[in-house]
Amino acid sequence: MQTSFPPEALADPAMRSSEAVIRKCVHCGFCTATCPTYVLLGDENDSPRGRIYLMKDMLENQREPSAEVVKHIDRCLSCLSCMTTCPSGVNYMHLVDHARAYINETYTRPRSERLVRRLLAFVLPYSERFRWALTFAPLAKPLRPLLRRSKALRPLAAMLDLAPSHVPNPTSAQSSHVPGAKARVALLQGCAEPVLKPQFREATVRLLNRMGHDVIFAPGEGCCGALVHHMGREADAKAAARRNVDAWTTEIEGAGLAAILVTASGCGTTIKDYGFLLRDDPAYAEKAARVSALAKDVTEYLDGLEWLPVEARGLTVAYHPACSLQHGQKVTDAPKRLIAKAGFTLRTPAEAHLCCGSAGTYNILQSEIANELGTRKAAHLDALEADVIATGNIGCATQIARFSGVPVVHTVELLDWATGGPVPLALR
């Protein structure tokens, strides 16, 4: 695509990067067919190509975006399905991340939207605040019909919809050592996952220990920054990235790390991109690139290890590939291979490339589209008539469980169970 960014705009490295992305797009439109929002809404402005035009116009002309432009960018799930489809190698992720940061700086959202976004950024990335909010959410659930009547307050109703009726007791993330360990790995603790599903982390630690790995949780590490990054709060995302880079660098330069493992693929995509996010920060660029190079989805890492003897459980598993895993990290076969190796019968759903609608804060901020996608996804998964649904991302697990009657587990819980661990909680 031809561009005409003024030279003064190109003095900004972020603009230069976006210009290079835009120039790669040949407007072929292949990406439209696999974009969930285009599939649902049929509007070119809700397709990757349409959004690229909108972002080009906004960035190239240094324009303050209109409410209409913001609406279409906000509707993007950041599922990155378009990046898998694009034959031209357009890095849509970097472009939309920049566009969101630009919108955050130049556009004034209505007061109610600003309040909701601030609330999400204040609560979700912090485990303790999130746990506290979930504890009190049941008391506010009766207010949902009232909140739904106002468009501005609908996200609050969506938040309450997502809150579980029971919050698991807090469990501590304790590093574990095995005698004669083959390797030492860090496991991301993160923010929401250990509050909602501590069993994911517990299963991962058990399995890695069984496979002869020391597992550590680096002191000081926390939310990867994805939740705030997707809301355009770039400074917050960079602060989260720097904090995590510091925490893991201490471990890398101390006892050493073979890998930094992530059980939530949304976080994995972000951590693998820390090198890009902090590329212009002289104090962090190198360290961030090293952290990104060590980051791996847990299934990607396990797939490279010698496998343990398994006990067949006789169950059929419907595998849901999280977008952040299949499109963001291009990890497609490893989880399926592991499920099959662990003795389960594997089934994959129709439209596996389409997002389930979770997408970080998307099912709060864009609940109507998210609900449509969730219903559609669950219908395809349920049609497989499997005993259990496995996935590799806390957001997908939560979203799918709302719409499907089939129990949902993390892939690692099945692997742990097949190699001697306890029955996954959702199957008890």
| Beta sheet of 183-187, edge-to-edge order | 213-216, 183-187, 259-262, 295-297
> Binding of ligand SF4 at residue 79 (CB under 6 A)?
yes
- What does each C-alpha distance from 144 to 135, 160, 331, 403 come to in angstroms? 16, 7, 38, 18
Q: In angstroms, give the least distance from the CB of 325 to ligand SF4.
A: 14
What's the burial of 23, exposed, middle or buried (CB within 10 Å: 0-12/13-18/19+)? Answer: middle
Q: How far is residue 246's CA from residue 33's CA, in Å, rounded to a whole number?
A: 41
Q: Give the other-Cβ count within 10 Å of 383's Cβ.
A: 12
Site string for ligand SF4, 40-59 (x = CB under 6 A): --------xx-xx-------
Q: In angstroms, give the least distance from the CB of 35 to ligand SF4.
A: 3
Q: How many residues does the chain have?
A: 428
Four-CA torsion 238, 232, 47, 61, nearest 10 degrees: -100
Among residues 78, 367, 404, 411, the one that binds ligand SF4 under rule CB under 6 A: 78
> Given the rule CB under 6 A, which of 3-11, 76-84, 132-140, 150-158 is the region that contacts ligand SF4?
76-84
* Number of residues engaging ligand SF4 in binding (CB under 6 A): 26
- Which pair of structure tokens corresponds to residue 68? 């209409």
DSSP label at 389?
E
Beta strands in 232-376 (DSSP E): 259-262, 295-297, 316-319, 345-347
> Binding of ligand SF4 at residue 365 (CB under 6 A)?
no
> Binding of ligand SF4 at residue 29 (CB under 6 A)?
yes
Q: Segment 80-99, which members bind ligand SF4 (CB under 6 A)? A: 80-82, 85-86, 88, 90, 92
Nearer CB in complex with ligand SF4: 1/425: 1
> Binding of ligand SF4 at residue 354 (CB under 6 A)?
no
Contact 175, 208 (CB under 8 A): no
> Given the rule CB under 6 A, which of 35-43, 143-151, 215-223, 338-346 is the region that contacts ligand SF4?
35-43
> Binding of ligand SF4 at residue 106 (CB under 6 A)?
no
> Binding of ligand SF4 at residue 37 (CB under 6 A)?
yes
> Binding of ligand SF4 at residue 77 (CB under 6 A)?
yes
Q: How far is residue 390's CA from residue 397's CA, in Å, rounded to a whole number?
A: 8
> Binding of ligand SF4 at residue 357 (CB under 6 A)?
no
> Binding of ligand SF4 at residue 196 (CB under 6 A)?
no
Sign of CA dihedral 278, 280, 281, 284: positive
> Given the rule CB under 6 A, which of 32-40, 211-219, 248-256, 332-340 is the region that contacts ligand SF4?
32-40
> Given the rule CB under 6 A, which of 70-78, 245-253, 343-351, 363-371 is the region that contacts ligand SF4?
70-78
- What does each C-alpha distance from 262 to 48, 69, 170, 224, 279 come to in angstroms? 28, 34, 19, 10, 22
Nearer CB in complex with ligand SF4: 79/208: 79
Phi-psi region of 178 (alpha: psi -120 to 50; beta: other; left: phi over 0): beta
Among residues 10, 26, 283, 340, the one that binds ligand SF4 under rule CB under 6 A: 26
> Given the rule CB under 6 A, which of 28-36, 161-169, 207-215, 228-236 is the region that contacts ligand SF4?
28-36
Among residues 58, 76, 264, 356, the one that binds ligand SF4 under rule CB under 6 A: 76
Helices (H), 86-233: 92-106, 111-123, 127-140, 144-148, 154-162, 192-196, 198-210, 226-229
> Binding of ligand SF4 at residue 384 (CB under 6 A)?
no
Nearer CB in complex with ligand SF4: 125/328: 328
- List Cβ neighbours of 151 (8 Å cut-off, separation of 6 or more): none
> Binding of ligand SF4 at residue 338 (CB under 6 A)?
no
Chain residues binding ligand SF4 by CB under 6 A are: 25-31, 35-37, 48-49, 51-52, 76-82, 85-86, 88, 90, 92
